[in-house]
Amino acid sequence: MSYVQQNLMKNEKVVYQADLHWWIFALPALLLIAGFIMVMSGGDVAGAGWALVIFGVIGFLLRWIKKVNSEFVVTNKRVILKQGLIKRNANEIMLSKAEGMNVDQGIIGRILGFGSIVITSGGALNTYRAIKDPLRFRKEINEQIEENYATPVPAV
């Protein structure tokens, strides 16, 4: 059972769950490819090629562990952001207390559909990088705030 499922409050339901983007695997993949090319070419560069392969495998495994142990969830009551296996970093922000949200995307992030989300609450900045479709994540948060916490307009 996931961290989020274990920690849902009464009458709380998950409305959207984001994930880390595959882009986090780009550098390890490049190291693996470069390493294999160097190993296959033989000669003096084969040793350095094996080093790149080892770094690529380690990088891939570390990022995979990060990906499977990360949860980015919007519920009807709060935003829950959890990362980490051994050292867990969990932030739970009540929708009624969320003050601001920023989405940062570079050119590659805009093309491939990933970016960073920065949520401010109580003066604290919570930044989460390489989130898949961060604009939708922000939209889901805003919709839940509007649905559940918007001040009704008085009838005239």
Q: Residue ranges per domain, the chain?
A: 3-20+71-147, 24-65
- The pLDDT of residue 153 is above 80: no
d(CA 71, CA 79) in angstroms, rounded, equals 10
With vertex at residue 103, the alpha carbon angle to CA 100 and CA 105, rounded to the nearest 5 degrees, is 165
The SS3 of residue 90 is strand
**Residue 85 confidence class, pLDDT cut points 50, 70, 90:** confident
DSSP state at residue 20: B
For residues 7 and 155, the model is more confident at 7
Least confident of 25-34, 52-61, 95-104, 110-119: 95-104
Contact predicate 2/50, CB 8 Å: no
Residue type, position 9, single letter: M
Kindly list the distances between the CA atom of residue 101 and the CA atoms of 92, 93, 135, in Å, as whole numbers in the listed order. Answer: 14, 12, 10
Give the class (CATH, top level) of 3-20+71-147: mainly beta
With vertex at residue 102, the alpha carbon angle to CA 73 and CA 126, rounded to the nearest 5 degrees, is 60
- Counting Cα atoms < 13 Å in the Cβ hemisphere of 139 gives 5
